[in-house]
Structure 1
Amino acid sequence: MIKRLIAAGVFATLVAGTADATTLKLSHQFSEGDVRNKVAQMIADDVKAANVDLDIQIYPNQTLFKAREQYTPLSRGQLDMTILPLSYAGGQRPEYNLTLMPGLVKNLDHGNRLAHSPFMADIEKILNEDDVKTLVHGYLAGGFGSTKNCITKPADVKGLTIRAAGKSFEIMLASAGASISSMASSEIYSALQTGVLDAANTSSESFLSYRLYEQLKCYTPAGDTALWFMYQPLLINKTTFDDLTPAQQKALTDASAKAETWYLEQAKLGDAETTKAFEKAGVKIATMSQADFDEWREIAKKSSYPAFVKSTPDGQKLLDEALAVQ
């Protein structure tokens, strides 16, 4: 009888522990094979292994919220966590458009320095005002893909209908003569397939995970010279984080620090992996030269940069802070 009572007590304790466990919902737009989902899964696994009664439930492929609809519920506490291109929330906070600005980031290591600079500290203050907190910083590089001609220099986009992630790239590409069609990266495949788009500008990871090689004739990858870098952090509702126990907070921040290091490593590997996949699929590979890059940056300086400054409170200060990072 005593043994039965003890066993029953242990079982009741386990059930109570399970019932008391905190579950956080993490939404994102990417496929389960995408590096961004792997970052989220790595954190979820490490937090679970820490045994602090904290579980993270991941909803990939826009199964909980649409790609561009995640920031608002996150800021309102209706969503606990997300990993997303921060510029998607540029409509709510124009300052975020600077996290996807042509010619601002030179390479992934430079992007990592930018992510830990006074510039990003100011972005974090804005996030905090919206009750949002960053757990994992990360930039991803990207390139151009086209169903028609190869794209390396500004003249190549004239007359094309192109998708570009972020307002700043849209302004620059429109200045170069392209027509712009805005959509999430998860919608590019069908738009290329149906002829809504002639070309797209997105991350190497999205080019690969969405199998865009099935639709494109030419791909310009992120090589030694790359124009496109996009900040794509993993975020948490700040009140949600503050309400966790100290042990849960520590488990989450420790797991996030580990994942951030891995994220940078995988971003570097991802560019080469995507290029190989496109080559294998028979897609023509184009290369952007330094001269091409300089042409793009001159257009950006006359279009995207001043538009950002004009439309953004403290825009010049933020731009100067970002440009100061070497």
Structure 2
Amino acid sequence: MKPIVIPMATALALCASAASADTVLRASHQFPGGQGDIRDEMVQMMARDVAAADVGLTIEVYPGQSLFKAREQWGAITRGRLDITSLPLDYASGRHPEFSATLMPGLVRNQAHAQRLNDSEYMAMIKEVIIDGGARVLADAWLSGGFASSQQCITSPDTIEGQNIRAAGPAFEEMLEAAGASISSMPSSEIYTAMQTGVLDAANTSSMSFISYRLFEQVDCMTQPGDFALWFMYEPILISEQVWQGLDEAQQTALMEAGEAAEAFFAEEAAAIDQQMVDVYEENGVEVVSMSEEDYNAWLDIARETSYKNFAESVPNGQAIIDAALAVE
């Protein structure tokens, strides 16, 4: 039998094809792509860094809910149907009530405090639940936020009475409801339409979402985080634990290094986001106000009797999680 001779060009093409057969990871998130949203930028940055590491790994990014809806991402990633996501973790508190501690009124005071929380026993407890649930954190991110309304400025608790508001998670919903608000639950990506159609009068969300989703077109007053930021939300980049375990050591190292770089990028940019929001809203004719220390403390008084108390009583290990967070100066 004559030996099979493969032309050199064909052989080279086959080798190139084999070399380019990277493991492809799909990254999904709800935020607008290509519009400067820092959460999208973090994921895109990781995709570039992983490609540059040349470890046989490619990340394809699907922004704007183009692959999975916002509320579907946790279930998809823990079952291995999705590889990577940037997710407001409290969205999964229905499955893991411990996650409500990552959107607890007044728990995080500012970005510097958030950085200290990342290295605390509190965050170790949260990440243990994440791992047990089927995911793993590649990068930490805390976004501050505020209130906005088409009815009246929201400062002290009495200013929310009678308004229908989106609050993002159970802890804030309990506090706001106790102050006299009506609650509508939805992801941040649905706020604009809900305000446009009169379903919502007001909303709580991150400063970045207030910018990215152009909510200045639907509101008359914005309460900025300022010196008394009541609203901070943990929005990490996660990878499916099933997917993680299927990667080799070099690929895992590349992902962790890319996550660390994305986290550092976020930390540098985070402080400027609040001012960017203020500038955008003022430029579009929206009144911007701040909470006073008295307003802030009045909200915390309500939160302690509602959100904090309910979390401690109803969530396994709830009081220990709150205590661990409050122990971080």
TM-score computed with the length of structure 2 as normaliser: 0.96
Aligned partners of 2:265, 2:155: CA distance in 1, in Å?
Answer: 30
Give, as a single letter, the amino acid of the residue that structure 2 aligns with 1:31. P
Residue in 2 aligned with 1:183? 186
Give the corresponding residue for 1:237.
240
Stretch moving more, 277-286 or 262-271? 262-271
Q: How far apart, in 2, do the equivalents of 1:272 and 1:210 lie?
A: 16
Shift of the alpha carbon at 1:76? Answer: 0.7
The corresponding residue for 1:10 is 12
Kindly provide the amino acid, as one letter, of the partner of residue 248 in structure 1: Q
Q: Partner of 1:90 in structure 2?
A: 93
1:162 aligns with 2:165: yes
- TM-superposed deviation, 1:6: 4.2
Alignment-derived partner of residue 22 in structure 1: 23
Matched, 1:285 2:291: no
DSSP-derived class of the 1:259 partner: helix
Which structure 2 residues correspond to residues 146-161 of structure 1 after superposition, within 5 A? 146-161=149-164
Q: Distance in 1 between matches of 2:323 and 2:99?
A: 15
Identity %: 49
| Letter aligned with residue 25 of structure 1 | R
CA-CA distance at 1:285 after TM superposition: 0.7
Residue 205 of structure 2 aligns with which residue? 202
Unaligned runs of 5+ in 1: none
Q: Corresponding residue for 1:267?
A: 270
| CA apart distance, 1:11 | 2.1
> What is the RMSD computed on CA atoms of the aligned residues?
1.1
Structure 1 residue 127 and structure 2 residue 130: aligned? yes
| Letter matched to residue 103 of structure 1 | G
Aligned partner (choices 31, 37, 42) of residue 40 of structure 2 = 37
For 1:16 and 1:186, how far apart are their aligned partners in 2?
40
**Displacement of 1:9 after TM fit?**
2.8
Question: Which letter does structure 1 place at the counterpart of 2:283?
Answer: K
Distance 2:277 2:147 in 1: 12
Q: Matched residue of 1:70: which SS?
A: helix
Q: What SS does the aligned partner of 1:286 have?
A: strand
Taking the aligned partners of 2:288 and 2:133, their CA distance within structure 1 comes to 42
Paired residues for 1:58-137 under 5 Å: 58-137=61-140
Secondary structure of the structure 1 residue equivalent to 2:151: coil
Distance 2:92 2:216 in 1: 28
CA deviation vs aligned residue, 1:243-269 (integer Å, no higher than 9, x gap):
112111111111110100111222211
| Number of the residue aligned with 2:3 | none
> Which is further off, 132-141 or 261-270?
261-270
Letter in 2 for 1:45: R
Once residues 254 and 84 of structure 1 are traced to their aligned partners in structure 2, the CA distance between those partners, rounded to angstroms, is 19
Instruction: Report the secondary structure of 1:12's partner residue.
Output: helix
Task: Kindly provide the amino acid, as one letter, of the partner of residue 59 in structure 1.
Answer: Y
Count of paired positions: 322
2:218 aligned with 1:215, yes or no? Answer: yes
Per-residue CA deviations over 1:5-57 (Å, capped at 9, x if unaligned) read 444333211101222x1000111100012110000000001101111111111
Quick one: distance in 1 between partners of 2:109 and 2:306?
A: 19
TM-superposition CA deviations, 1:271-304 (whole Å, max 9, x none): 1101100000000011111111111101100110
In structure 1, give the amino acid aligned to 2:20. Answer: T
**TM-score normalized with structure 1 length:** 0.97
- 1:65 CA drift (Å): 1.1
Paired AA for residue 60 in structure 2: Q
Residue number in structure 1 paired with 2:254: 251
Worse-superposed segment, 260-269 or 4-13? 4-13
